[in-house]
Structure 1
């Protein structure tokens, strides 16, 4: 009789593990499918770029990569500053508001630089490519807005 219970428990455990694994795989797949395409993916996989365009776009992307990292670091620093101001305060103090302003400024600079980068890349494209690019960018932004 003990062997019977062991088999039932082993089967239940295996079924549970299989269920958890299947759920995790499904959730991972669904999230990946719902994730909007990256700017890089749109440019390099959805547009028919010639060799010169690829080279020019690679140079633009390389140049922006360093700028983006610096801007993202500033956003993270502003976020840390905000966290510290909140932790040190007992309410909505001038220090908290200054940290909020710093965070908004850093985020704004990142957004402005990213938009400038998008238009710089667009300038390398043919009118037909730019039309596809614009449509896809608008779709991604609308998707992200909910």
Structure 2
């Protein structure tokens, strides 16, 4: 099968679109955008943490930043593999299907790590702070639904 210039352009656009959709999904699920920083500023600025809580939270945030970066790099790599599979198969074939599953797996790992981080942060809080934190998490997760 000979591939013409129109098919090449469409293939490139499809690969770029797949990567873009994957990155949007990662941003949404990881909450690495405004929601995550909003949650952290909420904890720091509105929960009146004591100095011990602040110090523990700083450690948690530094550890999670490294973990999140690693997971986001793996997700980008999975998106690149998806683009390559699309370019190779030119259809929804076994390589594309496997690449999509790999993207979904990475997105799930990123979401799981984010939720684990939220629970680790919650454990540092006093009962009244936990109540406000829980309400904020719930509001963040259901915003726009």
TM-score, with structure 1 as normaliser: 0.72
Q: Which residue of 2 aligns with 1:105?
A: 105
Q: Which residue of 1 aligns with 2:96?
A: 96
Larger CA deviation: 48-57 vs 38-47:
38-47
How far residue 50 of structure 1 moved from its aligned partner, in angstroms, is 0.5
SS in 2 for 1:99: helix
Unaligned runs of 5+ in 2: 1-33
How far residue 90 of structure 1 moved from its aligned partner, in angstroms, is 2.0
SS in 1 for 2:48: coil
Unaligned runs of 5+ in 1: 1-34
Q: Tell me how far apart the structure 1 counterparts of residues 87 and 141 of structure 2 sit (CA, whole Å).
A: 34
CA RMSD of aligned residues (A): 1.3
Q: Which residue of 2 aligns with 1:84?
A: 84
Q: Which residue of 2 aligns with 1:46?
A: 46
Q: Tell me how far apart the structure 2 counterparts of residues 38 and 77 of structure 1 sit (CA, whole Å).
A: 27
Question: Structure 2 matches for 1:1-146, cutoff 5 A?
Answer: 36=35, 38-143=38-143, 145-146=144-145
Q: Tell me how far apart the structure 2 counterparts of residues 72 and 38 of structure 1 sit (CA, whole Å).
A: 19
How far residue 81 of structure 1 moved from its aligned partner, in angstroms, is 0.8
Deviating 4+ runs (over 2 angstroms): none
SS in 1 for 2:131: helix
Q: Which structure's CA Rg is the greater one?
A: 1
Q: Tell me how far apart the structure 2 counterparts of residues 105 and 84 of structure 1 sit (CA, whole Å).
A: 18
How far residue 103 of structure 1 moved from its aligned partner, in angstroms, is 0.3
**Count of residues in Structure 1 that have an aligned counterpart in Structure 2:** 111
Q: 1:77-99, CA deviations, whole angstroms, 9 ceiling, x for partnerless residues?
A: 11111111112222110000010
